[in-house]
Amino acid sequence: MKTVRDTTGRFRMRPHYEPGEFDRECERLVVDFLRYRYGEAKFPISTDDLTALIEKDADDLDHYADLSEYGPAVEGVTIFQPGGKPTVKIAAALSEGNRENRRRTTLTHEFGHVKFHSYLFDPAIHSLDLFGDPVEERTSDRVQVCKRDTMLDAGASDWMEWQAGYVCGAILMPASVLRHVIKEKFAQEVAAGLAIIGLVAAAMIEEVQGRFQVSAEAARVRLLRLEVIRDAVNKPALF
């Protein structure tokens, strides 16, 4: 990880991770967590374990929140607390309806904010002048609003959402575990080379969706990020 200037005006500097850095750190984190709890790491990780993962580093986790005040299509919110642990709110509809995969995605996305972004709001960090004071002290800057459409694949300009989306995929579908699944199921196709398209890519998405209990869209984005499949429209971003 290195620091680069934040062009959003929210901070003076921000963290920049290469995808491989996120993959290694997230896999280490989730494997260690599962081994500590069960003596081994098996996937799919359960929703209960995702909840426990967040609760280790959050002050409060609300699974039944009314997020209407933040606008339409908001499914998760992380509220950072200077010098303290953040609060996480998940839209009630995800827990009350038949939307388990979206709930899992949202929980893990918010975990990305909790784990990798909370330190940005720690006054002790700013007192060391590592990032400098915020350009303007605004309470709204401490509220990270996460919408359905950008939960997995935010634009490059929205770096906090992009990073949380990448963490989401890396926790639910760790790189080495996913690659093992693909190699095991699609040995001949893998031998022919990566960046596969067409019907084989569709079959890979379906396999990953079932193995890791994620949506087809989450599986597709993750396979694109790892360059296992190719999409002429969506290219991996460099964060």
Res 57 pLDDT > 60: yes
- pTM of the complete model: 0.90
pLDDT band at 191 (very low <50, low <70, confident <90, very high): confident
Reported as a pLDDT band with limits 50, 70 and 90, residue 126 is low
Q: What's residue 50's pLDDT?
A: 97
Q: What are the pLDDT digits (tens) for 175-186?
A: 999 999 999 999
pLDDT given at position 157: 85
Cα separation, 182 vs 176, in Å, equals 10
Share of the chain above pLDDT 90, in %: 72
- Amino acid 87: pLDDT: 97
Query: Element (H or E) spanning 194, and its range?
Result: none
Question: Could you tell me which residue, 230 or 140, shows the higher pLDDT?
Answer: 230
Strands (E), 34-142: 60-65, 74-79, 87-91
Looking at 80-222, which runs of residues are DSSP E strands?
A: 87-91, 143-147
> Residue 196's pLDDT band (boundaries 50, 70, 90)?
confident
* pLDDT of amino acid 238: 37
The closest alpha carbon to 144, from 128, 126, 120, 166, belongs to 120
pLDDT at 127 over 70: no
Q: Can you list the pairs that 39-43 forms with residues at least 24 positions away whose Cβ atoms lie under 8 Å?
A: 43/173, 43/174, 43/177, 43/211, 43/212
- DSSP, res 42: -
pLDDT in tens, 12-34: 889 999 999 999 999 999 999 99
Task: Give 222's contacts (C-beta < 8 A, 6+ positions apart).
Answer: 169, 172, 173, 178, 208, 214
What is residue 2's three-state secondary structure?
strand
Count Cβ neighbours within 10 Å for each residue of 118-139 and write b for 16 or more, e otherwise. Answer: bebbbeeebeeeebeebeeeee
pLDDT beyond 60 at 234 = no
Who's near 11: CB < 8 A, 6+ residues apart? 120, 131, 132, 134, 135
